[in-house]
């Protein structure tokens, strides 16, 4: 008897999947409404599965020493916030999560709203959190010439080229009035994927060197649009990469 709600919701989810795949053959449907209904069905299924959900199979997560100044989390958000994740071959929406930049792990809140778990990195394909899309890169699966380490990366742009940001935090020590104090220090590294190889990028010059086959065109575009890498590296990298893809079509 207890399994019937799960079966009903699962059937509903399959129905929405079928409708989504068949929409090209039917009368046009409002895509946003359809997606909303699909997300609700997925969320209901995840909730009904409760402790049986494949999302909740990692080690327990614990918060850090509260005496360390700042926090270890992405965008300084240290409370569980709604996100979505592609995990173990399944898509989950309305997931309460945290992105820990110190350990490079995603923590999720169990359905009981108390217990906290790590997502197993080997099962996590990607996740969406606070308006950013993160992808999990395993160096065993990329070109061995790539200057990149395994972990979660903020994917800013994905075309023929790809722009990624690696966001991390480390614990540093400084002298304070009361003695030594610890604090979280953020760090940001940029990468460009071209021809299936990831390159480290730390300046506008690095970017132009990697895209040297269109260097003059890019220089003109940068000047005309007053793009300044030092002022806004992420915006500059995305604009340059997308324009490069446009003129190399």
Kindly list the averaged pLDDT for each block of 10 residues, start to end, along the chain of length 249.
39 44 46 58 48 76 94 96 94 94 95 87 97 96 89 97 98 85 96 95 96 96 96 97 94
Residue with tokens 């104090």: 181
Q: What distance lies between CA 237 and its chain's CA centroid?
A: 18
Q: Which two tokens stand for residue 45?
A: 């299924």
pLDDT of residue 133: 98
Per-residue pLDDT at 33:
62
Pinpoint the alpha helices (H) of the chain: 4-22, 31-49, 204-210, 215-224, 233-247
Per the structure block, which two tokens stand in for 226?
Answer: 């007053």
Task: Report how far residue 120's alpha carbon sits from residue 113's, in angstroms, rounded to the nearest whole number.
Answer: 19
Say if strands 105-109 and 151-158 run parallel, antiparallel, or are unpaired. unpaired
Long-range Cβ contacts of 133-139 (<8 Å, 24+ apart): 134/99, 135/164, 137/164, 137/198
Q: How far is it, in rounded angstroms, from Cα 237 to Cα 207?
A: 8
What pLDDT, on a 0 to 100 scale, did the predictor assign at position 13? 44
pLDDT at 143: 87
Q: Does the predicted model carry a pTM greater than 0.75?
A: yes
Cα–Cα distance measured from residue 139 to residue 150, given in angstroms and rounded to the nearest whole number: 5
In the prediction, which pLDDT does 3 show?
40
In the chain, where are the structural domains located? Answer: 4-52, 56-200, 202-249
pLDDT of residue 31: 60
Helix axes 233-247, 215-224, angle to 10 degrees: 130
**Residue of 225, 166, 168 lying closest to 201 (CA atoms):** 166
Alpha carbons 230 and 215: distance in angstroms, whole number: 19
User: Of 17, 44, 172, which is closest to residue 102 (Cα–Cα)?
Assistant: 172
* Predicted pLDDT at 245: 97
């Amino acid at each position: 008897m207890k399994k019937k709600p799960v079966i009903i919701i699962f059937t509903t989810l399959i129905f929405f999947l079928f409708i989504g795949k068949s929409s090209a053959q039917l009368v046009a449907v409002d895509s946003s409404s359809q997606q909303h209904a699909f997300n609700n069905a997925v969320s209901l299924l995840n909730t009904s599965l409760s402790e049986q959900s494949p999302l909740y199979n990692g080690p327990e997560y614990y918060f850090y020493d509260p005496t360390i100044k700042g926090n270890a989390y992405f965008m300084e958000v240290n409370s569980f916030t709604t996100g979505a994740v592609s995990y173990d071959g399944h898509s989950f929406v309305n997931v309460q999560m945290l992105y820990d930049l110190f350990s490079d792990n995603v923590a999720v809140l169990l359905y009981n709203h108390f217990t906290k778990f790590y997502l197993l990195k080997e099962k996590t394909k990607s996740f969406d959190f606070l308006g950013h899309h993160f992808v999990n890169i395993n160096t065993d699966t990329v070109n061995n010439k790539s200057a990149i380490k395994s972990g979660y990366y903020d994917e800013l742009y994905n075309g023929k080229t790809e722009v990624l940001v690696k966001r991390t935090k480390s614990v540093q020590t400084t002298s304070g009035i009361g003695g030594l104090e610890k604090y979280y220090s953020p760090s940001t590294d940029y990468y460009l994927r071209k021809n299936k190889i990831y390159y480290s990028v730390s300046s506008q010059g690095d970017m132009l060197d990697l895209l040297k086959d269109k260097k003059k065109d890019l220089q003109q575009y940068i000047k005309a649009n007053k793009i300044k890498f030092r002022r806004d590296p992420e915006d500059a990298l995305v604009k340059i990469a997308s324009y490069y893809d446009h003129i190399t079509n």
